Chains A and B, each alone.
Chain A
C-alpha cells in the first residue's frame, strides 16, 4: 500500500526532519573522514546526490519489475548493491573525463560510495515503505541533498573547530563525533513539522 504523502513533503522531510545521516545515521564513514576538507565534502556530497538519485530510480524499477514479480525479494541486497556498483563505475568514468581535479580530490572515496550505507539504506527504505515512482524520485534526491547539506555543514564546523583549543584527548574523531551529536539534536528539532514514515 503506497503511503499517502505528497512527494514535495517527502522531499523536504528527507532533507530536514529525517535526514539520512543525522536521523538514521547512515553513511557515517565517509561523512566523518571526508568532512576534514571543505572542498572534498562539496564534491563528495554532489557525487552521493547524483548516485542516490540515479540508483533509487533504477532500483525501484528493478524492485517492481524483476524482484517482486519473480518473488526474489530475498536477493534484494545483492541485486541493489550490483546496481549501485555499476552506477558508481559509470559516474567515476564521467567525473574523470569532466573534472580531473574533482577526480583527484575524491580519490578512493568515489569507489567507496558503492558501499556507502546511506545509498543502500535509501533503497531499502523505498522498498519497506513501498513508495511510488514519483515519491521514490523525490525521496532519493532529497536524501542525497540532505546528506550533502549535512557533510558541508560538518566540514564548515570542523574548519572552525580546528582552530579552537580542543582538549588533547578529544582532538580529531572525538570532537567530531560530539559535533555530529549536537548537529543531530539540532535536526531533531525539525521533527514533527512534517511527519512521514
Chain B
C-alpha cells in the first residue's frame, strides 16, 4: 500500500459516505409525497407534489392567484384563505396582512409551503383565469404619454366581463434583470375573445410602462394573465355616473362598446373624463359617435388647464368641480344613481366625496382603485 495515498483516500471516502447519507436523508425528509390542495371545500381537488409554495403549486395547475412580484413576497397580492393548518404565519407575511386578515386565516400564498393536504378558499372567478401568450398586433399613440396596445392570442380565448383587468408581463430589459408583471384594465370588447387591448399611460420610472412605451415592438411575443377584478356594471335600472382620467378610460371603453353591442343602452350614462389640456384627450371622436347613437349617453370631457391654442369650448376645471356641477344641475336625484370610477386613489377619494355629498349611497359607488 502506498502510504501517502491513505490519507486522501480515507478523507475522500469518509466525505463520500457522509454526502451519500445526506442525500438519502434529504430524499426521505424532504419528500412530502403527493399531497392534495382542496379548494373551496371540495369544488376542486388538485394533487400536487409536496414541498413547493402554494402560489407555485396552484399556478402549475393553471389556477392563477394575482401576483405582481412573482412570488418574492414583496407585493402582497397573492392572498388566499388557508383553512387548514399550514404552519405559523411567517415574519415575511406580517407587513402585508391586516389584523382582520390574520384573524381570517388569510396568508400570502407565495410564502406558504404545501407540506401536507391543505384546504384553501379562493374566489370562484380565479378558475376562469388563464395565462395567455400572444403577439403584439397593434400599438397606437393616443396622446403623448398614453398608448393603446392590442395583443392577439396564439390559440386561446378569454372570457371576461367589461371592467376587469389583466396582468401584462414584459421580459427583462436594460437594467431590469427579471420579467415583470403589472396589472392594466382591459379596454377591448368582451365579445372579442382572441385577444385583449390595454390603454397604458407612461409612469415615470415605471418598469412595465417604460418598456411598453420605449421598447415594445409590433409582432413581439408577450404574455398576459387574467382576467381579474370585480369592477363591472351592476344589473340595475339606475342612472350611471362614470368618472375617469388618463388611462382610466380603459374599463369604460370596454363597457360602452359592450353595452352598445348588446343594445343595452336604456340606462342614462354620464361619463366625465378629466385631462389637463387638449393634447391629453383621446377617443373624442369615438365617444361623440356613440353619443349620436345613444341619446342617453353623455360624454363630458373636462380640461383642468386648457391652452389658449386649444380653443376649448367644453368644461374647464377639476373633474370634481365639473362632476358636482352636473350632479346638481343636470343629473339631479329624481332617479336612482350609481357611481363608477377608475383612476388614482386621490381622484377616486375626491370623487367619492362629491358623489356621497350629492346623495349617492357609499355602497352604490363602485371603483377600480390603482392601489
A, B bound: yes
Is A83 located at the chain interface by the 8 A CB criterion?
A: yes
Is B7 located at the chain interface by the 8 A CB criterion?
A: yes
User: Closest approach, in angstroms, between the C-beta of A100 and any C-beta of chain B?
Assistant: 4
The answer to whether residues A66 and B29 also contact, given A100-B88, A104-B91 and a CB cut-off of 8 A, is: no
The answer to whether residues A70 and B6 also contact, given A62-B14, A79-B11, A79-B14 and a CB cut-off of 8 A, is: yes
Instruction: Give the A-B pair count, Cβ closer than 8 A.
Output: 46
Residues of A118-161 contacting chain B, CB below 8 A: none
Interface string of B11-31 (1 = CB under 8 A from A): 100110011011001100110
Is B334 located at the chain interface by the 8 A CB criterion?
A: no
Residues of A within 8 A of B22 (CB): 86, 89-90
Measured in the bound complex, the distance between the Cα atoms of B10 and A101 in whole Å is 39
Is B2 located at the chain interface by the 8 A CB criterion?
A: no
Is A94 located at the chain interface by the 8 A CB criterion?
A: yes
The answer to whether residues A104 and B10 also contact, given A90-B22, A93-B30 and a CB cut-off of 8 A, is: no
Residues of B within 8 A of A97 (CB): 29-30, 115
Name the CB-closest residue of A to B18. A86
A72, B18: Cβ atoms under 8 Å?
A: no
A104, B18: Cβ atoms under 8 Å?
A: no
The size class of the interface chain B forms with chain A is: 20 to 34
The answer to whether residues A78 and B11 also contact, given A86-B22, A90-B21 and a CB cut-off of 8 A, is: yes
Residues of A64-101 contacting chain B, CB below 8 A: 66, 70, 72, 75, 78-79, 82-83, 86, 89-90, 93-94, 97, 100-101
B11, A75: Cβ atoms under 8 Å?
A: yes
A93, B25: Cβ atoms under 8 Å?
A: yes
Is B87 located at the chain interface by the 8 A CB criterion?
A: yes
Residues of B within 8 A of A75 (CB): 7, 11
Residues of B within 8 A of A89 (CB): 22
Residues of A within 8 A of B18 (CB): 82-83, 86
Residues of A within 8 A of B205 (CB): none
Interface string of B191-212 (1 = CB under 8 A from A): 0000000000000000000000
Give the interface centre of B19, B25, B90 by most chain A CB atoms within 10 Å: B25
Question: B residues near A, CB below 8 A?
Answer: 6-7, 10-11, 14-15, 18-19, 21-22, 25-26, 29-30, 87-88, 90-91, 113, 115
Known pairs A66-B14, A79-B14 / 18 extra A-B pairs, C-beta < 8 Å:
A62-B14, A72-B6, A72-B10, A75-B7, A75-B11, A78-B11, A82-B14, A83-B18, A86-B18, A89-B22, A90-B21, A90-B25, A93-B30, A94-B25, A97-B30, A100-B87, A100-B90, A101-B87
